[in-house]
Amino acid sequence: MRAIGALGPAIRVVQLLYVVSGTGIVEQVPTYRGEGHAFL
């Protein structure tokens, strides 16, 4: 389960990329965080 902990920082990096790109996907980020197991 350490892989999930390692994905934490990686997910934040992805969020920053989305914010920079301004694609509006940021609004969906909370959903992915809640469904992290499904995202994997």
Sign of CA dihedral 33, 39, 29, 4: positive
Q: What is the pLDDT of residues 19-30, one digit of tens each?
A: 766 655 555 555
pLDDT confidence of residue 14: 80
Question: Does the reported pTM lie above 0.75?
Answer: no
pLDDT confidence of residue 39: 46
Q: Is 6 exposed, middle or buried (0-12, 13-18, 19+ CB in 10 A)?
A: exposed
* DSSP assignment letter at 24: S
pLDDT confidence of residue 40: 42
Q: Is 14 exposed, middle or buried (0-12, 13-18, 19+ CB in 10 A)?
A: middle
Q: What is the pLDDT of residues 1-40, one digit of tens each?
A: 576 777 788 888 887 877 766 655 555 555 555 555 544 4
Residue boundaries of the structural domains of the chain: 2-39
C-alpha span between 38 and 40 (Å, rounded): 5
